[in-house]
Structure 1
């Protein structure tokens, strides 16, 4: 079967549910590739008329907002033991260094950490639970959560769908090769953005550590005085 014909058999509802579910679980605090799934589904929507990009974007937005809200409630009730459990369960994502960096971001930026955290992979899984653990007022969290979900999910779908539509004729002409190249291009762009975000976060953490007044110099040894 031709790849184009096979893709047309994928039910749109399955794509919507997959995107909303994966993004929701990631936002709740489970490390899943929500951004990759969203980009891939949007590229699929750009080549398959039965997948509506507006519905796809809406499902992604709802998944992000609902998942973050559930994560917030779990964090508010679970507190620090929740972070300790996540650290044991997902040490690569919830290790002490990750938690410390995320906490510094939340203490310094507050609502902005929730909003911009949507665009940074490791902060995206932290935003909901950590905001709850730190007792951020829910109305503040909700505003940042809703705006961040709309801008991130809606913006990603709009940009990737537009790029996919421009390349649609080329994708159809080259079938497997075209589709694979488009996906690789989309994932490559995503990885570049994530690497830049990680570098920026690392530089910010270094600057904060250098400016931390709590880092005291060791006291000088007492000098003996001869009578």
Structure 2
């Protein structure tokens, strides 16, 4: 049964769909899917690792560009969850960092499930050009896919002749990795509090880009802290 599932072309469709959705809807478990399928590929010989890589990388890039388009269209303050203090702080910081080093921020954020959505939407809302964003999203999707497939290959090698174990082990590893990344992100990105206890004062500094900021009918990201 495992071999039949591994050899089915439906797996590629499912994987592509998960990777696309995860680009703008973080609860979708694309990391777990890529790692588990890669582990299965190594332990059974199917599906093709190369095909998995191409499909996952393409889906990741498409999903990231959807998040970018949503940010460009809707802005980053329209919904209530975007105005929560923790999310607001993350968006403000993303806007500041994107203004200074967009490439490294976009490529790094690809590895953080929620972070990549916030950063990619911020990139769209603050006017980062599509000409710059698209190539970086392709590179980020490819590097993220290679990393996830590498983890899956390790699991598949360890599972050896027990392919039934490769899928749950791959999922467990990806979940643990996600929890570790989230813990590090929370530790590094703790919201700063104002010394007078009144909370942070929003900055009105311009972004310095010639492109107009598209935020719908909402506030744009301040770049200062």
Same fold (TM over 0.5): yes
- How much is the aligned-residue C-alpha RMSD, in angstroms? 2.9
**Residue 94 of structure 2 is aligned with which of 105, 129, 144?**
105
Query: What is the aligned length?
Result: 194
Shifted more, 99-108 versus 62-71: the winner is 99-108
Query: Which has the higher relative contact order, 1 or 2, with Cα contacts under 8 A spaced 6 or more apart?
Result: 2
Q: Where in structure 2 are the equivalents of 1:181-196 lying within 5 Å?
A: 181=169, 183-196=171-184
- How far residue 209 of structure 1 moved from its aligned partner, in angstroms, is 6.8
State the partner residue of 1:164.
155
Picking from 17, 40, 46, the partner of 2:42 is: 46
Distance 1:97 1:13, change over 3 A: same
Poorly superposed stretches of 4+, deviation over 6 Å: none
The secondary structure found in structure 2 opposite 1:32 is: coil
Given that 1:53 and 1:161 are in contact with CA atoms closer than 8 Å, whether structure 2 keeps it comes out as: no
Instruction: Give the TM-score normalised by the residue count of structure 1.
Output: 0.71
- The match for 1:59 among 42, 48, 55 is 55
Q: Alpha-carbon deviations, 1:44-98, whole Å to 9, x = none?
A: 2222322011111111111111121122223212235xx423x4xxx4x874521
Distance 1:215 1:185 in 2: 38
Alpha carbons of structure 1 residues 209 and 41: separation in structure 2 relative to 1, 3 Å: farther
**Structure 2, unaligned runs of 5 or more:** 202-225
TM score, norm. by length of structure 2: 0.72
In proportion to residue count, which structure has more helix? Answer: 1
- CA 209–166 in structure 1, closer or farther in 2 if over 3 Å, else same: farther
Structure 2: distance between partners of 1:19 and 1:116: 22
Equivalent position of 2:114 in the other structure: 122
